[in-house]
Amino acid sequence: MKALEITGQESATDLIKQLVCLRLLARQTILTRKKAEALTQQYRDKQAAAAQDSEDWALSGHLISALEENGLNCRFHEIEIGQYLMHLCHELDKKAPRELIFEAINTSKADRNSEEVRKYGEKSHHLICILDLENSATLDDEIEIRPLKWCHTMAFMNAMQTNEKLGKAIHDISNEFFDGAFGEYREAPLMERLAGRAV
């Protein structure tokens, strides 16, 4: 994430380039994690079929460990991308023309002037995370089609699970709004709070 950094001195073009790079990074991170999860399952199946004292069993165990670590790193990167997106959207809203933002997130021409966009799309964050306009011409529901929204959701969920103040505030407001549907607040387990991340 060091290659992507906001100093406040960026031009609109620089910020748009960062948004495009962030989309590509998010998509690649999600695809890498999904591939690691699929390979992990393949090697688990292979290990289950091998004798416990065989070379295949030991090799599968090492590969499973490496793939699980890779998958975990990808989950952390998804959270970091989502956190960075919020800062980037804030800067984009100050400097970048809406048309460039639509282009950068690959919004279809038909969706750019819809009633929903006029009503709820005043911020770039809303275009991506609420209105689902990233790659909007694509009807596929796979998370890599809208990778920025996925990463934002992961960052938000992580913050709710690891920041007690935020988690309690959201829980209490949701309970008030939905007539107590969420029950009593329970804080995240100690290990999640100590780690500062929940994945």
- Local confidence band at 198 (pLDDT 50, 70, 90 cut-offs): very low
More confident residue, 99 or 175: 99
Q: Is residue 9 over pLDDT 80? A: yes
Task: Please give the Cα distance from 73 to 37 (Å, whole number).
Answer: 12
Whole-number pLDDT of residue 2: 47
User: What Å distances lie between residue 198 and 2, 62, 76, 144, 151, CA to CA?
Assistant: 22, 25, 9, 21, 13
- Give the pair of three-digit tokens for residue 144: 């890599």
The amino acid at 26: A
Measured from the Cβ of residue 130, the count of other Cβ atoms closer than 10 Å reads 14
- Give the pair of three-digit tokens for residue 28: 């690649």
Q: How many CA atoms lie within 13 A of 98 on its CB side?
A: 12
Q: Is residue 191 over pLDDT 70? A: no
In the numeric block, the tokens 């607040």 are attached to 185
Q: Is residue 192 over pLDDT 70? A: no
Phi, psi of 74 (to 5 degrees): -65, -40
The mean pLDDT value of the chain amounts to 87
Task: Please give the Cα distance from 28 to 78 (Å, whole number).
Answer: 10
- Quick check: 20 and 104 in contact, CB under 8 A? yes
Q: Using one digit for the tens of pLDDT, what is the confidence trace for 137-183? A: 887 878 999 999 999 999 988 888 777 777 777 777 777 777 778 78
Task: Please give the Cα distance from 37 to 86 (Å, whole number).
Answer: 28
pTM of the model: 0.83
In the numeric block, the tokens 């090697």 are attached to 43
Nearest one of 80, 83, 95, 86 to 10, comparing CA atoms = 95
Classify burial at 32, counting beta carbons within 10 Å of its beta carbon; exposed 0-12, middle 13-18, buried 19 or more: middle
